[in-house]
């Protein structure tokens, strides 16, 4: 009998339809839940759902949402509850508890969402975490900044990525950040770690790491999210046994063990300082965003959307992983405002990089450019791969310099 899997947000954000497909392809009966009408879902998601429930109150009234889901699934055993979108992680845990479904509990989920609880647990386990203090008022933010010291970082307790995150080198910059944080109830004020920024991403089953990935940001997201002209790069590192990343890999294993993660995708960010010290950043019970799972797939010519689903539904991972390539995703931001009116340099990129270019997804001419502060992928991206690390970075830099989008 096919296992029944409840998928929260099967069509959003971007990669979710592919994870929904993965669940279907490993034999699950997929029950989708989201706030909107089924017609609003991408075609891929609709094609791989067996059932769908629209719950307008899904993220505004937890009790009403759970009651609606319980009534909808009455008489059916839900074997797994999945959510790979950061804002729904705690909701998924609450639904599991209400339905008696195994998986991450609310208490466990909270440690992956609340950055203060997360760092407290990991610090107690011996993981090197930044100095940190929570704050719910402007006065507390100022006091925390004084205690932590400058430079410091102010970020939402339950945020995702680097959105609403500020580096402050002085109390004047703290005051400036406070003017932009009025919509956030609680923040973490923490030590700024000056170093290179990496990721450690995994697929786990039964408490065991079945697959892992090392990613690298150029430049680090805090810089990329504050300087518009930059073409940010996310890279997938092929040589995962290299001493350059050994400390982060070991830390990632320690983090997941300390937090008791069992089954699913995880995404951890960590820093490597110039003296070699490795420092924890944050971890989430979800995959990395901004098409990073695509990089993992291109690096080994595999399908980790289905690989994750196999681990989630069957507790196994049978994907053969051979790390053949380094990969890079280069995000582009148009110059000017309004609609895209020209794309220059794509022919030069193809001539320079050849078959190394594996994906091009740019906003078409005539379409409005996106708000670069509100989306990681901005106005499109180019993905490439190559066996050599230095050549991968050189080609990524070429794309960043020579491919330009113009709006007006």
* DSSP letters spanning 75-115: T----EEE--SGGGHHHHHHHHHHHT--S--HHHHHHHH-H
Dump pLDDT digits (tens) for 277-301. 999 999 999 999 989 999 999 999 9
* Average pLDDT, integer, range 132-148: 91
* Average pLDDT, integer, range 25-45: 97
Q: Please indicate, yes or no, whether residues 99 and 136 belong to a single structural domain of this protein.
A: no
pLDDT value of position 159: 61
- DSSP annotation of 315 reads S
Cα 178 to the chain's mean position, in Å? 25
Q: Please indicate, yes or no, whether residues 91 and 21 belong to a single structural domain of this protein.
A: yes
**Is 383 inside any structural domain?**
yes
Look at residues 238, 240, 215, 220 and name the one whose alpha carbon lies nearest to residue 230: 220
pLDDT at 195 > cutoff 80? yes
Domain that holds residue 175: 131-191
* Average pLDDT, integer, range 356-371: 96
pLDDT value of position 233: 97
User: What CATH number has the domain bearing residue 381?
Assistant: 3.30.470.20
pLDDT value of position 373: 84
pLDDT value of position 163: 65
Beta-carbon-side half-sphere exposure of residue 63 (alpha carbons within 13 Å): 0
**Is 119 inside any structural domain?**
no
Name which of 34-43, 119-128, 135-144, 177-186 the model is least confident about.
177-186
Q: Please indicate, yes or no, whether residues 333 and 234 belong to a single structural domain of this protein.
A: yes
Answer for the pair 256, 207: CB distance below 8 angstroms, yes or no. no
Q: Please indicate, yes or no, whether residues 98 and 217 belong to a single structural domain of this protein.
A: no
User: In sequence order, what are the beta bridge partners of 326?
Assistant: 386
Name which of 97-111, 265-279, 368-382 the model is least confident about.
368-382
Q: Please indicate, yes or no, whether residues 64 and 160 belong to a single structural domain of this protein.
A: no
**Is 221 inside any structural domain?**
yes
Give the confidence band of 225 by pLDDT, cuts at 50, 70, 90. Answer: confident
Q: Last residue of some domain: 162, 191, 220?
A: 191
| Kind plus residue range of the DSSP H or E element containing 147 | helix 138-148
pLDDT value of position 157: 79
Q: Please indicate, yes or no, whether residues 295 and 403 belong to a single structural domain of this protein.
A: yes
Answer for the pair 378, 370: CB distance below 8 angstroms, yes or no. yes
Beta-carbon-side half-sphere exposure of residue 330 (alpha carbons within 13 Å): 26
Name which of 156-165, 201-210, 220-229 the model is least confident about.
156-165
**Is 86 inside any structural domain?**
yes
Give the confidence band of 374 by pLDDT, cuts at 50, 70, 90. Answer: confident
pLDDT value of position 161: 54
**Is 60 inside any structural domain?**
yes
- The count of structural domains within the chain is 3
pLDDT value of position 235: 98
pTM over 0.85: yes
Q: Please indicate, yes or no, whether residues 240 and 253 belong to a single structural domain of this protein.
A: yes
**Is 122 inside any structural domain?**
no
* Average pLDDT, integer, range 195-201: 97
User: What CATH number has the domain bearing residue 35?
Assistant: 3.40.50.20
Q: Please indicate, yes or no, whether residues 58 and 168 belong to a single structural domain of this protein.
A: no
**Is 340 inside any structural domain?**
yes
| Kind plus residue range of the DSSP H or E element containing 177 | helix 171-178
Q: Please indicate, yes or no, whether residues 403 and 386 belong to a single structural domain of this protein.
A: yes
Dump pLDDT digits (tens) for 234-266. 999 999 999 999 999 999 999 999 999 999 999
Q: Please indicate, yes or no, whether residues 233 and 326 belong to a single structural domain of this protein.
A: yes
Q: Of all residues in the chain, what percent carry a pLDDT higher than 70? A: 99
> Which tokens is 63 given?
């009790």
pLDDT at 228 > cutoff 70? yes
Q: Last residue of some domain: 191, 207, 240?
A: 191
User: What CATH number has the domain bearing residue 178?
Assistant: 3.30.1490.20
Q: Please indicate, yes or no, whether residues 211 and 183 belong to a single structural domain of this protein.
A: no
**Is 113 inside any structural domain?**
no
pLDDT value of position 335: 95
Q: Last residue of some domain: 143, 175, 191?
A: 191
pLDDT value of position 160: 59
Dump pLDDT digits (tens) for 151-177. 999 988 766 555 678 889 999 999 999
Dump pLDDT digits (tens) for 308-331. 999 999 999 999 999 999 999 999
Q: Please indicate, yes or no, whether residues 401 and 314 belong to a single structural domain of this protein.
A: yes
């Amino acid at each position: 009998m096919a296992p029944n899997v409840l998928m929260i947000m099967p069509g959003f954000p971007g990669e979710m339809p592919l994870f929904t497909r993965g669940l279907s392809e490993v034999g699950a009966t997929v029950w989708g839940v989201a706030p909107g009408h089924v017609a609003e879902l991408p075609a891929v998601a609709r094609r791989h759902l067996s059932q769908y429930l629209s719950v307008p109150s899904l993220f505004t009234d937890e009790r009403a949402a759970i009651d609606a889901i319980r009534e909808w699934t009455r008489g059916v055993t839900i074997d797994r509850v999945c959510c790979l979108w950061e804002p729904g992680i705690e909701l998924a845990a609450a639904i599991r508890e209400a339905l008696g479904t195994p998986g991450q509990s609310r208490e466990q989920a909270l440690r992956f969402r609340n950055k203060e609880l997360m760092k407290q647990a990991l610090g107690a386990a011996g993981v090197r975490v930044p100095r940190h203090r929570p704050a719910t008022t402007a006065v507390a933010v100022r006091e925390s900044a004084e205690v932590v010291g400058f430079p410091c970082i102010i970020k939402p307790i339950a945020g995702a990525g680097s959105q609403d995150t500020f580096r402050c080198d002085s109390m004047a910059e703290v005051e400036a950040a406070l003017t932009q944080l009025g919509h956030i109830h609680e923040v973490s004020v923490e030590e700024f770690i000056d170093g290179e920024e990496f990721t450690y991403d995994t697929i786990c089953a039964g408490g065991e790491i079945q697959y892992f990935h090392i990613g690298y940001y150029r430049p680090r997201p805090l810089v990329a999210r504050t300087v518009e002209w930059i073409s940010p790069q996310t890279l997938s590192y092929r040589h995962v046994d290299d001493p350059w990343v050994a400390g982060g890999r070991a830390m990632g294993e320690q983090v997941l063990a300390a937090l008791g993660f069992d089954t699913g995708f995880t995404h951890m960010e960590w820093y490597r300082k110039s003296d070699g010290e490795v420092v924890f950043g944050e971890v989430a019970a979800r995959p990395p965003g901004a098409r990073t799972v695509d990089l993992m797939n291109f690096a080994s010519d595999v399908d980790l959307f289905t690989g994750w689903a196999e681990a989630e539904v069957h507790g196994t991972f049978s994907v053969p992983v051979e790390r053949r390539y380094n990969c890079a995703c280069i995000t582009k931001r148009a110059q000017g405002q309004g609609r895209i009116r020209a794309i220059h340099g794509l022919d030069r990129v193809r001539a320079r990089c050849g078959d190394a270019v594996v994906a091009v997804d740019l906003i078409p001419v005539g379409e409005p450019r996106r708000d670069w502060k509100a989306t990681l992928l901005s106005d499109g991206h180019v993905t490439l791969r190559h066996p050599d690390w230095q050549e991968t970075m050189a080609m990524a830099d070429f794309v960043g310099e020579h491919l330009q989008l113009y709006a007006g």
